[in-house]
């Protein structure tokens, strides 16, 4: 394996392991900023050593053991080692200098659910809502500041400032790394749900890179959602979010071709959908509805997903109901992105002109200036209206804006299809 290939493999390992690594370290050092620094130190050591020694059989355990040793060294230097860490240090030293497979067993036995603790810690009310989400996406999803900025449609420098400020605030306030009491847990719930939702979305359609999906992120978000639902059974939005993730996860096998190309919802083979996950999702949605409170944004999105899940074919989809649900969603959680999705639903229910009217009204929205889905959807509606030259321009603009290579390929293919339609008209 070349050094370049090794570095690519390490990058993939980091994407998978970083959240657990940071969460486990935060439990040790009680400082999420320091935990991230220690994890990054372990990554740098891996980048230096692994091209020469090869990638260990259990890279996550290796990274954890390396980071833990760094943590112990720092705590010793600062004379803040408690007896627990002194004992851990003796155990580490007694096993020699290289990480062993036993580290993985030790971590799994001790970890409890550090990831959920990490979410509640970084969603502490001492932080602003924007800072909470930016920090947690950074630590749990391993997203770069650029990826978070694109998800929130804000400048990259703004996200970087939020992350630095959040880490400093948590450290200065000595926020404990623990699950809060039920009353305080409820106060942080909205931020926690938002983080899990965005974590799932990044896995469902990756912001950047060569892959359309990042299934590990989706699986981790769904696991956290299920744990949260068990911990907060009377919260309808928790069940709504779990329902949404279960139903969306059911489509994984149908969302990409054997070569990794994206397959859009209307073109998917519904026989490949996971009906166990669909049933779980519908049951979670029913639990949310049974609680008798008005549906919030996650439960409404789950209800939209349920419309697709219940349709035996694309043609059987109840688009009128979906459009009505998007109308409701735009009332409880208004945003430009919701409006784009509402436009798609309106176009499917009442014709492309109805959707194009909504899309054109969003053209001057500053937050959507660099958002690729706006020209992408506009191109699709224009193509359906036979306005192929305009559609082609929109698809090319969308392709230039997206940072996902697979998505870019789809958009360029759509532009080429429009060009083929234009040629006979001009000959």
* Tokens representing residue 5 in the block: 């290939």
Q: How confident is the model at residue 250 (pLDDT cuts 50, 70, 90)?
A: very high
Domain annotation covers residue 56? yes
Question: Which of 85-89, 155-159, 314-318 is the least confident region?
Answer: 85-89
Q: Are 385 and 297 in a shared domain?
A: no
Burial class (CB in 10 A: 0-12, 13-18, 19+), 354: middle
Q: Are 14 and 97 in a shared domain?
A: yes
276-331 pLDDT, tens digit each:
999 999 999 999 999 999 999 999 999 999 999 999 999 999 999 999 999 999 99
Residue 95 has pLDDT above 60, yes or no: no
- Over its C-alpha atoms, the chain yields an Rg (Å, rounded) of 24
Domain annotation covers residue 63? yes
d(CA 17, CA 55): 14
178-211 pLDDT, tens digit each:
778 877 777 788 888 988 898 888 788 766 555 6
Residue 239 has pLDDT above 80, yes or no: yes
For 296-331, what is the HEC assignment? CHHHHHHHHHHHHHHCCCHHHCCHHHHHHHHHHHHH
Domain annotation covers residue 348? no
Residue holding tokens 């935060």?
A: 26
Give residue 361's Cα distance to chain centre: 28
Q: Are 214 and 293 in a shared domain?
A: yes
Domain annotation covers residue 200? no
Q: What percent of the chain is modeled with pLDDT above 70?
A: 87
Q: Are 381 and 293 in a shared domain?
A: no
d(CA 425, CA 423): 5
Domain annotation covers residue 395? yes
Q: Are 381 and 291 in a shared domain?
A: no
d(CA 423, CA 427): 6
* Tokens representing residue 171 in the block: 């450290």
* Tokens representing residue 347 in the block: 């176009």
Q: Are 7 and 94 in a shared domain?
A: yes
- Among residues 271, 302, 333, the one where a domain terminates is 302
Give residue 162's Cα distance to chain centre: 18
Q: Are 288 and 379 in a shared domain?
A: no
- Among residues 244, 271, 302, the one where a domain terminates is 302
Give the mean pLDDT of 368-374. 92
Parent domain of 418: 372-427
pLDDT of amino acid 110? 39
44-78 pLDDT, tens digit each:
898 888 988 888 888 888 998 998 888 887 767 66
**Nearest residue to 211 (alpha-carbon basis) of 253, 245, 262:** 262
* Tokens representing residue 355 in the block: 């959707």
Domain annotation covers residue 156? no
d(CA 346, CA 339): 10
- Among residues 302, 321, 347, the one where a domain terminates is 302
Average per-residue pLDDT for the chain: 85
Q: Are 390 and 291 in a shared domain?
A: no
d(CA 198, CA 217): 10
pLDDT of amino acid 89? 56
**Nearest residue to 63 (alpha-carbon basis) of 45, 78, 86:** 45
Domain annotation covers residue 252? yes
pLDDT of amino acid 104? 37
Domain annotation covers residue 15? yes
pLDDT of amino acid 80? 47
Give the mean pLDDT of 141-168. 85
Count: domains in the chain: 3
Containing 357, the helix (H) or strand (E) segment is helix 352-361
Q: Are 377 and 282 in a shared domain?
A: no
């Amino acid at each position: 394996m070349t050094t370049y290939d090794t570095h690519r493999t390490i990058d993939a390992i980091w994407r998978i392991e970083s959240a657990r690594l940071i969460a486990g370290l935060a439990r040790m050092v009680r400082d999420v900023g320091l935990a991230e620094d220690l994890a990054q130190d372990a990554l740098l050591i891996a980048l230096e050593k692994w091209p020469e020694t090869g990638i260990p059989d259990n890279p996550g355990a290796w990274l954890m053991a390396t980071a833990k040793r760094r943590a112990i060294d720092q705590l010793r230097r600062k004379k803040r080692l408690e007896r627990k860490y002194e004992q851990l240090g003796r155990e580490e030293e007694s096993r020699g200098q290289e990480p062993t497979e036993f580290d993985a067993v030790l971590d799994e036995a001790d970890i409890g659910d550090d990831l959920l603790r990490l979410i509640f810690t970084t969603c502490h009310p001492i932080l602003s809502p924007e800072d909470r989400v930016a920090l947690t996406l950074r630590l749990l999803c391993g997203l770069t500041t650029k990826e978070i900025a694109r998800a929130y449609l804000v400048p990259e420098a703004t996200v970087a400032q939020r992350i630095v400020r959040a880490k400093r605030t948590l450290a200065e306030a000595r926020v404990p790394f623990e699950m809060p009491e039920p009353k305080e847990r409820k106060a942080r719930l909205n931020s926690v749900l938002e983080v899990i939702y965005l974590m799932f979305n990044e896995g469902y359609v990756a912001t950047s890179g060569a892959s359309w999906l990042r299934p590990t992120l989706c699986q981790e978000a769904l696991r956290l959602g299920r744990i949260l639902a068990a911990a907060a059974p009377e919260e309808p939005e928790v069940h709504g979010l779990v329902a949404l993730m279960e139903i969306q996860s059911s489509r994984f096998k149908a969302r990409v071709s054997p070569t990794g190309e994206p397959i859009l919802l209307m073109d998917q083979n519904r026989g490949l959908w996971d009906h166990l996950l669909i049933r779980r999702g519908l049951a979670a949605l029913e639990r949310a509805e049974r609680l008798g409170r008005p549906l919030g944004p996650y439960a409404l999105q789950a209800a939209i997903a349920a419309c697709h899940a219940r349709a035996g074919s694309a043609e059987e989809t109840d688009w009128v109901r979906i459009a009505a649900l998007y109308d409701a969603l735009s009332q409880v959680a208004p945003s430009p992105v919701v409006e784009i999705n509402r436009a798609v639903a309106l176009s499917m229910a009442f014709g492309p002109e109805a959707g194009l009217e909504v899309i054109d009204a969003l053209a001057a929205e500053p937050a959507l200036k660099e958002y690729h889905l706006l020209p992408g959807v506009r191109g699709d509606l224009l193509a359906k209206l036979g306005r192929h030259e305009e559609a082609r321009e929109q698809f090319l603009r969308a392709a230039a804006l997206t940072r996902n290579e697979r998505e870019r390929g789809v958009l360029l293919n759509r532009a080429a299809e429009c060009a083929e339609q234009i040629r006979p008209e001009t000959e």
